[in-house]
Every structure is written in C-alpha cells, then in structure tokens.
Amino acid sequence: MNPIRFLYNKLRYDLPIWLDNKMSFPWIRVYKHLYFTSSFKAQKEAVIRLYEIATGHSFNIDDPQTFNEKIQWLKLYWRNPLITQCADKYLVRDYIAQHLDESFLPKLLGAYDNPREIDFDSLPNKFVLKVNWGSGQNVICKDKSKLDIPTAIKKLKTWLTRPHNHYYYSMEWGYKNIPPKIVCEEYLDFLDAAPRVYKVLCFNGEPKVIQLVMDDKTPSETINYYDSQWNLLPFKQNYPTNSAEIPRPKQLDQILDIAKKLSQPFPFVRVDLYEAPTRIYFSELTFYSDAGTALFDPPEWDKILGDYLQLPEPFNADK
C-alpha cells in the first residue's frame, strides 16, 4: 500500500476506533450519538461514519452496491412502522401470532413498565427477563433461590433508560421508537445444550441464505452459510466455519416456510429460529444483520448478496 494512503487510513479509521475503545463507559458513546443524531442530516453522517469506522471503507450511501452498504441505506430510508413493532421483543409476539401461531413462542409470564412491578414470588423457578428495545439486555434465572433480585432490578432499571435503546449504538432505526418494557418469558431448557440456530436471510420476501450457528455464544461457536437447497456457500464473516459435513436438516422445509411467511412485508429481514429437539422456536426478526458491518471473506460475497436485495422506494416516515 502507498505509504501516504496507509497513514491516511490509520488516521481516518484506526485512530477513531482507538478513541472509541478508550471511551469505555456506555453513556459516553450513547450521548455522543444522541448529539450527532438530532437531525436527519446528522443521522446520515453518523450512519456513514459508523460504517467507515467499522469496515475501513468509504461508500456512496445514495448508490449502495453491496449487502452491507444496502443495510446502511435501509437504516435511513426504509422507516416503515411495522419494523418498529417487529423489532420490539414484546410486540413482535402479536406479529408471530398473526402469521404463525403462539406455539412457536416461549410462554409469556408477564410484561412490566417498571422492574418494581415484578412479583418475583409468583414467578416459576426458571424464567427470563429481557428489555424489549435492546440486545443482550437479559436476566436469565435458572434457580430463583440464587437470584440476586436487587441487582437484577438495578440492571433492568438502567436498561430502560433512553441511552440504552439499541438505536443509539449502531443507528438501527427500527429500535428508535420502541416504548420500553420488560418482558418475562419461560426459560427454555433446551437452550442449555447450545442448540443449532437457523438465521434465514430473506430478500424481498424470498429466503435466500441460511446462517447455521452451532455452539451459539460459546468459545466453540461456528457459522456456516447455505443456500435454500442446503448447498454450502464458500464465505464466512464473524466466526470460523464448521468443517464437518452437516446434513440437510429434517425441518428445513418448515424453516424456509416460516421465514417466507414472516418476511413478506420487508425488503430485507433475517428470521432467527431455534431448533429444539422436536420442534422450531421463534427467536427474533433482525432487520440490520450484524449492523451491516460484518466483513465478508472473500469480499466479493458482499456484492453477491447485495445483488439479491432490490431496494424499495424510500419510506422515510420519521425524519
């Protein structure tokens, strides 16, 4: 690389990343985004800048070509209120019930506007508490006698404050207007065994690519990518691939059918499903897969997947 270009890249990309990493307190990063997202113009600049910092690449957001670039476009220009409902971990249950049925969902044990409303005595020994507008904002209880309730309440109270809305971390618009709520669901015991997770990337209502996640959220996590016929695709992103030959899942047709039904209204959505021993469970709908910043290896697959996504007319109801 040209030495001048190398130095330019270091100053433009590596230095801001280093500075962001030094800002370890979440509220510093969040309020920085609050400041820079007070207008649509500022939001546009923030989306572009966050993409540049994460990937090391510049792009024209008004003429996106790759998959990741088009995800950035969707953050700004496809602001359909249905995304807000379906990104909401509470209200998405209504969407699932309408298009499938409630049997695909964990049992709902309660919903609360304030953690002080939770009657822990009435809850079963195992349960999950999660905030509906975030990512990873969960209290997982496997034994109520060992739960530190004051600490759990403190965490939930913090996660309900505006700066912890996931929108302010990566400009994913779908989260921005979600009314905060705590959801309590049954604990699914099969999750202890790190089951397979099928994340189906749907483009304009068609399931095209399946992420198979194995050993999810463990040091051994791997991700393979398949087409809808279960042919292994030769690329990776955040995690190594699994070298084992994975047979076609017995429930693949059902997985694809579910994904197709749920994805119809959206130009892009990733339908995430758990494989239980005898059935499929719904996990979530993801509208900005990996925030549109996970690099492809080899990089040409970013363009290949980008060609699958035909962008709609802008739907910018919230300026």
pLDDT band at 170 (very low <50, low <70, confident <90, very high): confident
Q: What's the DSSP call for residue 146?
A: G
Domain spans in the chain, listed from the N-terminal domain onward: 81-85+192-308, 86-191
pLDDT of 7 reads 73
Distance CA 86, CA 109 (A): 20
Helix (H, G, I), strand (E, B) or coil at 82: helix
For residue range 142-161, what is the model confidence (pLDDT) as tens digits? 999 999 999 999 999 999 99
User: What confidence score (pLDDT) does residue 31 get?
Assistant: 66
The amino acid at 49: R
Q: Give me the mean pLDDT over the 219-233 stretch.
A: 96
Residue 15 has pLDDT above 70, yes or no: no
Conformational region of residue 32, where left means phi above 0, alpha means psi within -120 to 50, and beta covers everything else: alpha
Q: What is the pLDDT of residue 30?
A: 65
pLDDT of residue 292: 97
Read off the pLDDT band of 267 (50, 70, 90).
very high
Mean pLDDT value across residues 178-189: 97
- Give the CA distances from residue 270 to residues 247, 273, 283, in Å, rounded to whole numbers and listed in that order: 22, 10, 11
* Portion of the chain with pLDDT greater than 70, in percent: 88
Is 90 exceeded by the pLDDT of residue 180? yes
Residue 71 reports pLDDT greater than 70: yes
Number of residues in the chain:
319
What's the number of CA atoms in the CB half-sphere (13 Å) around residue 13?
A: 15
**Beta bridge pairs of residue 110:** 184
Q: What is the residue type of 177?
A: N
Tell if the pTM clears 0.75, that is, is over it.
yes
Give the pLDDT of residue 195.
Answer: 87
The closest alpha carbon to 31, from 119, 129, 157, 163, belongs to 163
Give the lowest-confidence range in 28-37, 96-105, 209-218: 28-37
State residue 19's pLDDT score.
Answer: 52
- The pLDDT assigned to 144 comes to 97
Backbone angles phi, psi at 164, to 5 degrees: -95, 5
- The reported pLDDT for the residue numbered 318 is 59
Where is average pLDDT lowest: 12-16, 172-176, 303-307? 12-16
- State the CATH class of domain 81-85+192-308: alpha beta
- Percent of the chain residues past pLDDT 90, beyond the cut: 73
